Amino acid sequence: MDLYESGHARTYAKSEKSVSAASRMPWARFSCWVECVCVVTFDLELGQAIELVYPHDTKLTEKEVSITFLVSFFNIVFLSLKGCLGDTQFSFRVRQSVGQKSSWFVEEDIYSREAPVTLQRDPGHYYGYVYFRQVKDTTVKRGYFQKSLVVISRLPYVNLFQSLLQLIAPEYFEKLDPCLEAVCNEIDQWPAPIPGQTLNLPVMGVVIQNLLPAPMVLPTVNELDLFKCFQSLLIHIQMLWELMLLGEPIVIMAPSPTISSETVLALTSCIAPLKYCCDYRPYFTIHDSEFKEYTTRTQAPPNVILGVTNPFFIKTFQYWPHIIRIGELKMSGKCVYTSYKTYLHKDKALIKRLLKGIQRKRPSEVQSAILRRHLLELTQSFIIPLERYMASLMPLQKAIMPWKNPPQIRSFSREEFMKTLEHSGPQLTSVLKGDWMGFTGKRFFRSPNFDGWYRLRHKEMSHKLESLHLEVLCEADLLLWIKDKSEVEIVDLVLKLREKLVKAHHQQLPVKEEVLQKLESYIQTIITSLPEDLQAVLKRH
């Protein structure tokens, strides 16, 4: 199983040592993938209950576990009232309790630095992946077996974890606890998700991978069938892309938790490779801890996408600016309620091509690939001018001097950037016509997605500057520089160089290992040139 498309990252040899050391800790490898597994059940006499949390020493707080339980139980009640028999899968997302520390599998978080932003772990939220079963059972007083198996993780791997549940949940419902313990022990043997590596993940006699032949093939760990999710919304796809890029408040009203969660997750993937930086809840219920926060009328709706199924929300969210109601497949366009006017024109050729695909019974995965490629090209056309301007803010390499701190990145000027759009805007690479200038300048700069993108790019550029400065230092003649310097100046240089080395390792700067080794060698040579008493002090520190 490849964690993401090739060519996006490299793997460091030192990361393997970190992972190897971390893997010796109890449940370390398990926590690379999963926080815990919960079993939620309903009993006529006892009521709702969390039957099991595994591993037993899970670090989730009582509040977080209870939210998991409430969301899962609400699904049980909802599906019971609808008389839904059989198996159902869906996803949800909950906020982590304030003050709780995030556990992770390596101290130096290589994964989050190397992985695409759309696949990075979420330090502030948990993802819940649910498999619910309701079947008739005469041995139960209520007459039904009703239970949910829930995987809790920080990774947005909806495709992987839902596929995993398809394997383990039916077996668990038959064999119960011993089966679940065995599965968790198998996951604890999986290699850590190091970006760029193709992994084989064995579980219950099946190997999950992306190489043929294989019992279970996963093209990606996170991508859903985009066409299936948006088939009833095709004529609105352009507007939905704009709303997502702007981070607008949206409510998805769906007939089931499955459709609700898949639609919300599909929407957040619309602007890839940009990361959707607003909040989103694939399945939101009245039991959610943010229920009051998101349903208040004393202030404007927050930047969040909510997927709901309870009819109660029809009235509660009637004042929200964008409401999408999904039911039976309809092409009439009467499922989107908004006063938003798009800045760009619809791509009629795309819609025509997809509609023709429906008529010709083109496979859904092909339709999905067409739609995903269109959205990717649209986002790339939009982001290229921003990336180009951002790159121009980077200081010239010749301005980086070994004896001075790295130069500062120039500030982002919206006015200056907007002037560049006249001759090198998205209209040069996109087939879509419309008011690109107005869309970018009037709306996008106020979006949390712009702020998230800018912070990430600024951080990457800062790390690049630090790396270039380290390389320049290694090329400089440090021994010649210290010849006419005082002991105080030399000690200060040693301390600063050490600080840079620590920073390079801690922040996993994109610098070659030989550069760091060369700098370490310089430091040792400089120390040996000092009096013995100073050498002893510096070696202790």
pLDDT tens-digit series, residues 187-235: 999 988 877 777 888 998 888 876 544 556 677 888 889 999 999 999 9
Alpha carbon of residue 278 to chain centroid: 11
> Distance between CA 201 and CA 106 in Å, rounded?
20
Report percent pLDDT > 70 for the chain: 83
- Among the listed residues 10, 6, 3, the one whose alpha carbon sits nearest the alpha carbon of residue 511: 10
Helices (H), 7-124: 13-22, 28-33, 62-81, 110-114
Q: Residue 4 has what pLDDT?
A: 43
Tokens of 124: 């502030």
pLDDT digit string (tens) for 62-91? Answer: 555 555 555 655 555 555 545 567 888 999
pLDDT band at 479 (very low <50, low <70, confident <90, very high): confident
What would the two tokens of residue 300 be?
A: 């404007």
In 191-320, beta strands by DSSP E:
201-203, 206-209, 216-217, 250-253, 279-281, 304-308
Q: Do residues 385 and 412 lie in contact, with contact meaning Cβ atoms separated by under 8 Å?
A: no
The three-class DSSP label of residue 146 is: strand
| Cβ-based burial of 442 (10 A; exposed 0-12, middle 13-18, buried ≥19) | exposed
∠ CA 262-263-265, rounded to 5°: 65
Q: What is the pTM of this model?
A: 0.85
- Quick one: CA torsion of 83, 85, 90, 94, rounded to 10 degrees? 60
Q: What is the DSSP letter of 344?
A: B
- Asked if residues 50 and 65 have their Cβ atoms less than 8 Å apart, the reply is yes
**Rounded-to-integer distance, Cα 306 and Cα 281, Å:** 5
Whole-number mean pLDDT of the chain? 83
